[in-house]
Amino acid sequence: MAIYLDNAATTFPKPQEVIDAVSRCMALGAVNAGRGVYPLAHEAEKIISETRSLIRDLLNYNNGNVIFSPSATIALNQVLLGIKWSSRDVIYVTPLEHNSVTRVLENIKQNYDVEIIDIPLCSETLEYDLKETEQLFFKKPPKAVVMTHVSNVCGLITPVEEIATLAKQYDSTVVVDGCQGGPLVPLEEPQELVDFYIFSGHKTFYGPFGIAGFVTNGNIGLNPILFGGTGSHSELLSMPEEIPFRYEVGSPNIVSISGINQACKWIKKIGANNIAEHDRSLLAYATRELEQFDNLKVFVNQELSKHLGILSFIVDTYTAQEIGMILSQQFEIATRTGLHCAPMAHRFLGTLSHGTVRVGFSYYNTEDEVKLLIDAISTIVA
Ligand SMILES: Cc1ncc(COP(=O)(O)O)c(C=O)c1O
């Protein structure tokens, strides 16, 4: 594929340092950490422990605990199903959540009869209404607020800190799905406001598949949802109380952890802000150009600084799938079409029937590539 613009699905390519770390680990040190007393096992433990602090650092948590899991979906399941729910609890979500939030909450709703309410967002301007949010919280205080940090459909950044500040007036639990945000859009003070921040290794962290997790400030206890060996406290029949082991079952994925370890160092070297600014400048360029076409609609807030590098668009005369196919087959440009596992977002944007064409930028994309995309779209819609 000549041009890869499906970076919201997974960033590709990965930094060379990440590729090297993964193969080095496979060749020289892929042993089971936390279960042996020999040097390679100690080395693996050191990498894991260093990676926890790199992630904590990049996400701006001073003292948080980093808990690893094989995917963000599993991390979200652990956090959401681990919260101690009661019947008629009220949960607020953004209208843009991914299925790895909505399906889990639907399951909780069926078991606990909780109420799920959308945080007010204008579908035309893509502007959150914080005043109305405040009033809603007053009328129906939140037990929990669950927010995608950056929409995987349209790249809109949720004003997490503002909404979390309102929610904390009611001692609400705050969960942020940071799969498309962290560590590129770091929160200023997540420690007090965000109880659980979910991250994905293979997306905006530029790491490999197979490593994700969440950071917690430790204020809210979770029931573990998975049970098994932890390499520690093996005499217990129940899961140990000690964090992170309470929520980390099975052999740690040292290969992927070695990869995300180097990815964190690469991000620090380039600067998370520089990566975000690069993605945003491509987004601004693409949006400005796409908005020139009469029969094409881009789903953006006019303040493009409220987006990261993901945009969605539709064309009057073709379905999203048709555009995606033509881009792939005639122009060798990889985009993603359809619902992007976020049907609620599409219902909200009015695109549920066919979804949108989604373009996701990464640090490795260039303006020339965006120009080729625009030229291709121009040929298609002409
Ligand atoms: C916002 C968001 N949340 C959660 C996920 C789930 O991530 P994974 O499939 O890696 O578990 C994704 C993946 O697309 C996502 O974009």
For the segment 322-360, what is each residue's pLDDT rounded down to a tens digit?
999 999 999 999 999 999 999 999 999 999 999 999 999
Cβ of 346 below 6 Å from ligand 1: no
Cβ of 71 below 6 Å from ligand 1: yes
* Protein residue with its CA nearest to atom 7 in ligand 1: 72
* Protein residue with its CA nearest to atom 14 in ligand 1: 9
- Output the six-digit token pair for 309: 């590098």
C-alpha to C-alpha distance for 235 and 119, rounded to whole angstroms: 46
Q: How many CA within 13 A on the CB side of residue 309?
A: 30
Lowest mean pLDDT among 12-26, 229-243, 246-260, 324-338: 229-243
Tell me what percent of the residues of the chain surpass a pLDDT of 90. Answer: 96
In this predicted model, what pLDDT tens digit does every residue of 149-163 receive, in sequence order? 999 999 999 999 999
Pair 88, 63: CB distance under 8 Å = no
**What does the DSSP assignment read for 304-315?**
GGGB-SEEEEEE
In this predicted model, what pLDDT tens digit does every residue of 287-325 receive, in sequence order? 999 999 999 999 999 999 999 999 999 999 999 999 999
Binned at pLDDT 50, 70 and 90, residue 37 comes out as confident
Q: 299-329: string of b/e by CB count within 10 Å (b at 16+)?
A: bbbeeeebbbbbbbbbbeebbbeebbebbee
What is the 179 CA–ligand 1 centroid distance (Å)?
6
What is the 342 CA–ligand 1 centroid distance (Å)?
10
In this predicted model, what pLDDT tens digit does every residue of 136-192 receive, in sequence order? 999 999 999 999 999 999 999 999 999 999 999 999 999 999 999 999 998 998 999
What is the 236 CA–ligand 1 centroid distance (Å)?
33
Quick check: pTM over 0.95? Answer: yes
Q: What is the longest distance spanned by two Cα atoms in the chain?
A: 70
- What's the pLDDT score for residue 189? 87
What backbone torsions phi and psi does residue 353 show, to the nearest 5 degrees?
Answer: -70, -45
What is the 41 CA–ligand 1 centroid distance (Å)?
31
